[in-house]
C-alpha cells in the first residue's frame, strides 16, 4: 500500500532543485537569519519552523506597510525559496500584501524528505506562524497554491472556514489524474484536490494556461466548476505551466481579485456594524426589562426549596470549617427564635392596648350621637 503511494509521489510530485539555490547564513551582529546570495532587506524575515512531523522548514516573510491581506504561497514542485525570492518581493509590492513563502520538507534548506503528508504539516506550521508571530487573522489570509502547491493549499483551506480567499495557479485535480485520465479517486492517489475543493467556503480564483503541457487546463476548469464561491477565472491563452507570471493579464487579474475580496470583507464589516447600531436602539427597552430581573431572581430564590439533606457521599466530606459554620447557624437560629418570641409578645401587648383605645373612641362617638 505504502509502496504504491510512494511510487506515484516519486514519479510526479517532488523534484526539489539540487543543489539548493540558496544558503542560510546567521548574522551574529544582528542576530538575523539571512538568505545568501540575496542582500538583507528591512521588510524581509527568514525563519526556521518546526513542524508537527518533526522536520524543520525555512520560511520567508515579506512585510508591506499598507497591507490588509496576507498571502500564504505554496510553490510548485521544482522550485525553492531562492528561485521564488524575487517574485515574492514583486508580488508583495504590486498586490500590496504581506506574503509568506516556505520550502517543503526536503526542499531548499528545509530538513526531511518530501512527501504528501509532510506538505500538509509544512503549511500548517507556516499558517500557525502567521497567526502567532505576525498576528494575522484567518479572515485576512489568502492561500495561494501553484501546481503541486494546490495540494497543501486546498487541504488547509478545507479546514479553515473563515479564510479571505484562495488562489489556484495551474492546479491539479489529483496526483494520479495528472498521469492518467481516471474517472474516480483511488485510495493510493495523492493530493485529492477534486474531493476537497467543494469544502472550501471562501472565494476561489483559478489561473491556468491553455497550453499547459504538464497539467492540462482541464484540471483548473474542473476545480473551478466544483468551487462553491466562484470568481471569474483567468484562462491565459498560450500560457504554459511555468510562465504565467510573465503575462500582463496575470498581475492585473490577481490584483483585481484581491481588491474585490478586500472590499467584500469591508462591506461585511460595515453591515455588521450597522446591525449592531440598530440593535443598540433597542437598549432602553431592554434596560427597562432588565430592571425587573432582580425581583425575578428574588422570587426564584423564594421558590427554590432547600435540599432535604446531604448525600452519604457529601456527609463524608464535611470539614471542620463546615462543622463550625453549622454551629454558628444553629446559634443564629436560636437567637432569631428568641427575638421572634420577644417580638411576638411585644406585638401582642401593643395590640391589646390599641384595641382598648379604639373601643373607648367608639363609645365616645356613640354618646355624642
Residue pLDDT tens, the chain, 369 long: 445 554 555 556 799 999 999 999 999 988 999 999 999 999 999 999 999 999 999 999 999 999 999 999 999 999 999 999 999 999 999 999 999 999 999 999 999 999 999 999 999 999 999 999 999 999 999 999 999 999 999 999 999 999 999 999 999 999 999 989 899 999 999 999 999 999 999 999 999 999 999 999 999 999 999 999 999 999 999 999 999 999 999 999 999 999 999 998 766 655 555 555 555 545 544 443 444 444 444 444 444 444 444 444 444 344 444 544 554 454 344 444 444 434 444 444 444 434 444 443 443 443 444
pTM, 2 dp: 0.73
Contact 171, 147 (CB under 8 A): yes
Residue 59 lies in a domain: yes
Cα–Cα distance measured from residue 99 to residue 142, given in angstroms and rounded to the nearest whole number = 9
Q: What is the CATH number of the domain that holds 152?
A: 3.40.50.1820
Per-residue b or e along 41-60, where b marks 16 or more CB atoms closer than 10 Å to that residue's CB: eeebbbbebebeeebebbbb
Domain span at 78: 25-268
Residue 293 lies in a domain: no
The beta-strand segments (E) located in the chain are: 23-27, 32-36, 44-50, 56-62, 70-74, 98-102, 141-146, 165-169, 203-209, 229-230, 234-236
Residue 261 lies in a domain: yes
Place of cell 528545509: 110
Catalytic residue list: 147, 212, 241
pLDDT digits (tens, 9 = 90+) for 300-346: 444 444 444 444 444 434 444 454 455 445 434 444 444 443 444 44
Residue 132 lies in a domain: yes
Cα–Cα distance measured from residue 222 to residue 198, given in angstroms and rounded to the nearest whole number = 11
Cα–Cα distance measured from residue 99 to residue 96, given in angstroms and rounded to the nearest whole number = 9
Instruction: Give which of 146, 21, 91, 115 is closest to 258, Cα–Cα.
Output: 91
Cα–Cα distance measured from residue 182 to residue 2, given in angstroms and rounded to the nearest whole number = 20
Residue 204 lies in a domain: yes
Residue 302 lies in a domain: no
Q: How many domains does the chain have?
A: 1
Residue 61 lies in a domain: yes
Cα–Cα distance measured from residue 53 to residue 76, given in angstroms and rounded to the nearest whole number = 21
pLDDT digits (tens, 9 = 90+) for 182-236: 999 999 999 999 999 999 999 999 999 999 999 999 999 999 999 999 999 999 9
With a CB cutoff of 8 Å and minimum separation 6, the contacts of 224 are 204, 206, 230, 233
Residue 141 lies in a domain: yes
276 burial (CB, 10 Å; 0-12 / 13-18 / 19+) is exposed
Report CA dihedral (139, 144, 149, 154) to the nearest 10 degrees.
40
CA distances to 50, 114, 170, 238, 271 from 121, rounded to whole Å, are: 9, 11, 22, 35, 36
Cα–Cα distance measured from residue 197 to residue 158, given in angstroms and rounded to the nearest whole number = 7
Instruction: Give which of 24, 58, 61, 56 is closest to 41, Cα–Cα.
Output: 61
Q: What are phi and psi of 170, to 5 degrees?
A: 50, 55
Sign of CA dihedral 255, 46, 143, 170: positive
Amino acid at each position: 500500500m505504502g509502496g504504491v503511494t510512494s511510487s506515484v509521489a516519486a514519479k510526479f510530485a517532488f523534484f526539489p532543485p539540487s543543489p539548493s539555490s540558496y544558503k542560510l547564513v546567521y548574522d551574529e551582529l544582528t542576530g538575523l537569519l539571512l538568505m545568501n546570495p540575496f542582500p538583507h532587506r528591512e521588510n524581509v524575515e527568514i525563519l526556521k519552523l518546526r513542524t508537527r512531523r518533526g522536520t524543520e522548514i525555512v520560511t520567508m516573510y515579506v512585510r508591506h506597510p499598507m497591507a490588509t491581506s496576507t498571502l500564504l504561497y505554496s510553490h510548485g514542485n521544482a522550485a525553492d525559496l531562492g528561485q521564488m525570492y524575487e517574485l515574492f518581493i514583486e508580488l508583495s509590492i504590486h498586490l500590496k500584501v504581506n506574503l509568506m513563502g516556505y520550502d517543503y520538507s526536503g526542499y531548499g534548506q528545509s530538513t526531511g524528505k518530501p512527501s504528501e503528508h509532510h506538505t500538509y504539516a509544512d503549511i500548517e506550521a507556516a499558517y500557525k506562524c502567521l497567526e502567532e508571530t505576525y498576528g494575522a487573522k484567518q479572515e485576512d489570509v489568502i492561500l495561494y497554491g501553484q501546481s503541486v502547491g494546490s495540494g497543501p493549499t486546498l487541504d488547509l483551506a478545507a479546514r479553515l472556514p473563515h479564510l479571505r480567499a484562495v488562489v489556484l495557479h495551474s492546479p491539479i485535480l489529483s496526483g494520479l489524474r495528472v498521469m492518467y485520465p481516471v474517472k474516480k479517486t483511488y485510495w493510493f492517489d495523492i493530493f485529492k484536490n477534486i474531493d476537497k475543493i467543494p469544502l472550501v467556503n471562501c472565494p476561489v480564483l483559478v489561473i491556468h494556461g491553455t497550453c499547459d503541457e504538464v497539467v492540462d487546463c482541464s484540471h483548473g476548469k474542473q476545480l473551478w466548476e466544483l468551487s462553491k464561491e466562484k470568481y471569474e477565472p483567468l484562462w491565459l491563452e498560450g500560457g504554459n505551466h511555468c510562465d504565467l507570471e510573465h503575462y500582463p493579464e496575470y498581475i492585473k487579474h490577481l490584483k483585481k481579485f484581491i481588491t474585490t475580496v478586500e472590499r467584500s470583507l469591508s462591506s461585511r464589516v460595515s453591515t455588521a456594524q450597522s446591525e449592531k447600531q440598530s440593535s443598540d436602539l433597542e437598549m432602553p427597552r431592554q434596560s427597562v426589562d432588565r430592571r425587573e430581573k432582580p425581583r425575578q431572581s428574588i422570587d426564584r430564590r423564594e421558590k427554590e426549596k432547600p435540599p432535604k439533606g446531604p448525600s452519604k457521599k457529601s456527609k463524608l466530606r464535611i470539614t471542620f470549617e463546615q462543622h463550625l459554620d453549622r454551629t454558628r447557624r444553629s446559634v443564629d437560629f436560636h437567637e432569631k427564635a428568641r427575638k421572634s418570641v420577644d417580638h411576638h409578645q411585644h406585638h401582642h401587648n401593643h395590640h391589646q392596648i390599641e384595641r382598648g383605645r379604639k373601643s373607648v373612641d367608639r363609645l365616645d362617638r356613640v354618646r355624642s350621637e
